[in-house]
Chain A
Amino acid sequence: MSVYSGFREDLLGTVPSLRAFAVSLAKNADRADDLVQETLVKAWDKQQSFQPGTNLKAWLFTILRNEFYSQMRKRKREVEDSDGAITARLSVHPAQEGSVDLKDFRKALEQLPEDQREAIILIGASGFSYEEAAEICGCAVGTIKSRVSRARNRLQDILEISGESDFGPDAISAQITNTAFVA
């Protein structure tokens, strides 16, 4: 029996963002679709462990992420590639005057290590809070913050974006320090 009526529809409603997250992680649409399928099967099998009223999207993202990393461990070679071997060789076309081309942006994003890429996607695009992202990734809030910050600086470097100094590392570390005291 479904954990609550409408569970199927809610799962289906999350597919677009699950898929976007999967593509961001896997860098490949076919593999992303496999990940989403696997996630739906796992979610269905363990639906009794989901607490209705809590964040279904975060729960599903956690399952998908775990699935991604367990597949990654199985394909160790790919892990080594994405951890920097490719990064060093790849050259991205410098950003054009003014705005960055979306294709260049995608390439730049793909050069980031997984942990940074997932952090900046969860925070900057999927709409999760730092706390939620930390829960999904199974790490501390401060770790997510520093990964987002490193990802952002790295993207800026790769894309040769300047003029964002107002929102640079200082602002971020100030935010982290602040939160540390509040928490």
Chain B
Amino acid sequence: MKYEKPASQRTSGHRGSADDPLGVNSEIGRKLKQYYDDLVSEEIPDKFAMLLTQLEASERSQQGEDKD
């Protein structure tokens, strides 16, 4: 029992502890975040906002028809 880790380190969602295989001490972990952050910060094409606007509009017009 005395070897058991504190609860905070047992939480599998916990990031950044020394034994985190993808934490700040890991080259792979750092590269992975760099790779992903680059992708996340890319400019988002307008088409996604336009798509959602279309979806919303078609839903509204359907509701309008339902009420008639």
> Which residues does A use to contact B, with CB under 8 Å?
1-2, 8, 11-12, 15-17, 19-20, 23-24, 33, 36-37, 40-41, 44, 99-100, 102, 105-106, 109, 120-121, 123-132, 141, 145, 148-149, 152, 155-156, 159, 161, 164, 166-167, 171-172, 174-175, 178-179, 182
Contacts and interface: CB of A to CB of B under 8 A. Distances in A.
A19 B39 contact: yes
Given A12-B49, A149-B21, A179 B13 contact: no
B36 A129 contact: no
Given A15-B44, A102-B35, A132-B13, A167 B51 contact: no
Contacts of A132: 13
Which are the 6 A-B pairs with shortest beta-carbon distances?
A129-B13, A125-B36, A20-B39, A130-B12, A124-B22, A124-B32
25 contacts: A11-B52, A16-B44, A19-B44, A33-B47, A40-B48, A40-B55, A44-B52, A99-B27, A100-B31, A105-B35, A106-B35, A121-B36, A124-B28, A126-B36, A129-B12, A129-B13, A130-B13, A148-B22, A149-B21, A161-B28, A167-B23, A167-B25, A175-B19, A175-B21, A179-B12
A1 B59 contact: yes
Interface residues of B, number: 40
A97 to B, nearest CB: 13
A124 B13 CA distance: 11
Contacts of A156: 28
B51 A40 contact: yes
A152 B22 contact: yes
Nearest to A18: B48
B52 A152 contact: no
Contacts of A99: 27
Nearest to B31: A105
B68 interface: no
Contacts of A175: 12, 19, 21
B45 interface: yes
B42 A16 contact: yes
A37 B23 CA distance: 32
A40 B33 CA distance: 25
A44 B55 contact: yes
B27 A37 contact: no
Contacts of A129: 11-13
Contacts of A171: 19, 21
